[in-house]
Amino acid sequence: MSLVASARLVLAPPHRAGWPFIGLGLAVALLGVFAGAWLIWLGMLFAAFCLYFFRDPTRVPPQRQDALIAPADGTVTMVDLAVPPAELGLGETPRWRVAIFLSVLNVHINRLPATGTITCIAYRHGKFLNASLDKASVDNERNALAMRLDDGRDLAVVQIAGLIARRILCFVHEGDFGVAGARFGLIRFGSRTDLYLPHGVEPMVVVGQTMVGGETVIALMTAAT
């Protein structure tokens, strides 16, 4: 990544969901004018961290209509066969799952992996285990979405809370039509996003690979077997 691209990523404006936290940090810093310099520094550091955490850079999805793209920034921690969350009603047949772990340093905006209609959204309360663990997909608090694509097939995206994450935000509703790369949510502060591919579609990514949400191609629908 070039220096210009890196600077644009770091200095990207924050999503509106971050402004209350940024404002809190600035308020603490203002209070420090009367309470002590240490409080000024604490407030400014927190505000700066929130500016970084909630940054919302512009992403350009690939022009290929058959591409399924990464729903989040981060690192691929699992590529395996798994059954989507039961609450989505997508059946019990395993399909390929790509799990992306987001550290607190990653962009946390979630993006739709394809163009289609949101057919189901299901929130499930749970634990706050380390999101990189396999059992986090079962035990952790999560928000699951099912999408119906233009060809009639379904996929699922699951937002999973992490060790220090305490709030999952979802910006879409059942029945909404969304385009690939559109923002659909975020998770505070550190999390995981799982993508369950349509039946017959195999992933093109590997464990350890870095994902750029809204841009990295995870699979091609035309490569379905």
Catalytic residues: 191
Q: Of 86, 224, 124, 110, give the one whose Cα is nearest residue 178.
A: 110
According to DSSP, the residues that pair with 180 across neighbouring strands are none
Classified as helix, coil or strand, 75 is strand
Residue 189, preceding peptide bond in cis (omega within 30° of 0): yes
d(CA 157, CA 150): 17
d(CA 195, CA 75): 13
Residues 6+ apart with CB under 8 A from 25: 43, 44, 45, 46, 47, 48, 49, 50
Q: Please report the sign of the dihedral spanned by the C-alpha atoms of residue 23, residue 26, residue 28, residue 33.
A: negative
User: Per-residue DSSP letters for 16-30?
Assistant: GGGHHHHHHHHHHHH
Q: What is the dihedral of CA 65, 71, 73, 77, to 10 degrees?
A: -110
Q: Name the helix (H) or strand (E) containing 50.
A: helix 37-53
The 3 state secondary structure assigned to 95-130 is EEEEEEEECCCCCCEEECCCCEEEEEEEEECCECCC
